[in-house]
Structure 1
């Protein structure tokens, strides 16, 4: 939550505290459902775009394989990083498919909210894109977790 105002940070910390996480420690493991509940509260109280911004920051704060030089390689790494930073049970996955020289489709089979995943994908793409590149993400799948489905698919252009 490094790039958020003190007021937003405080409200997010209250949402975590309501779920039993009173002093978040990056070295600790927490139940995934706890985070999902806190994300739901944050989206309701602060607007869903805050989840987008949180997702964008994940590559900067999570353990992440980042020895890549291209956007495509960075986006392919999302599933590896996801598996590395989650444990226990069926946690889902991210599926990458290259669709062009500067485009791909990324399907998110996980329980995280759509805005969070959009931010995550954008954050990774921007990290590896050239300075003059514009990263564009569009939801293109026939299913959406927002509607109770298991996955969302995004077209990513850079």
Structure 2
């Protein structure tokens, strides 16, 4: 079985960078799932010069993106989802972001703070529907595996909820290059 590659339409440009909190969060999620997986990921990132990442630094985005897609099958959707939840836990949110509606509309800004130098449209989040307990989020050409985004969305809603919230996320691809996430929470 060959490792999945980054779909060309979703690939970062060579000059794109990712904030360290994304790398640190992904590694924390890997450790939570399996120390063997975390060790493997650390070795993989070290081969491209990402060693002992810190939340405040910037790193080349392409190696991290490649690592995420290459490990997606090996670790499974649940592990990547946990990594997404862990990553969003490290995001600084403005003080006025207190409800699920607020955090969902904050996604573009969060993405922009976590990435730089790309110049592409890989950061488009569209929230065509949000109501009490449900939302739809569309992502055009999302540069990360869908299960990682599912975890990040779930973690974002959970983070601003009462603490006893159950968040469900269903993912689909209504057309090539577009991912849709239907969220529900109670």
Structure 2: distance between partners of 1:105 and 1:12: 32
Structure 1 moving runs of 4+ over 4 Å: none
Q: 2:129 aligns with which of 95, 98, 112?
A: 98
Does residue 112 of structure 1 match 2:138?
no
Tell me what 1:49 maps to: 78
CA contact (8 A) 2:172 2:180 kept: yes
Number of the residue aligned with 2:183: 156
Provide the residue aligned with 2:12 in structure 1: none
Question: What CA RMSD, in Å, does the superposition of the two structures yield over aligned residues?
Answer: 2.0
**Greater strand share, structure number:** 2
Equivalent residue in structure 1 for 2:48, among 10, 15, 19? 19
Equivalent residues, number: 153
Distance 1:42 1:55 in 2: 14
Number of the residue aligned with 2:89: 60
Q: Give the structure, 1 or 2, with the largest relative contact order (CA under 8 Å, sep 6 or more).
A: 2
Unaligned runs of 5+ in 2: 1-26
Higher mean C-alpha displacement, 103-112 vs 118-127: 103-112
| 1:66, distance to aligned residue in structure 2 (A) | 5.1
**What is the CA–CA distance in structure 1 between the aligned matches of 2:67 and 2:61, rounded to whole Å?**
10
CA distance in 1, matches of 2:130, 2:93: 24
Return the offset for 1:16. 1.3
* Residue 139 to residue 48, structure 1, CA distance change in 2 (3 Å): closer
Q: CA deviation at 1:82?
A: 0.3
Displacement after TM superposition at 1:65 (Å): 3.5
Query: What is the TM-score normalised by the length of structure 1?
Result: 0.83
Q: Secondary structure at the match of 2:143?
A: coil
How far apart are the structure 1 equivalents of 2:44 and 2:79?
13
Q: Could you tell me the TM-score, scaled by structure 2's length?
A: 0.72
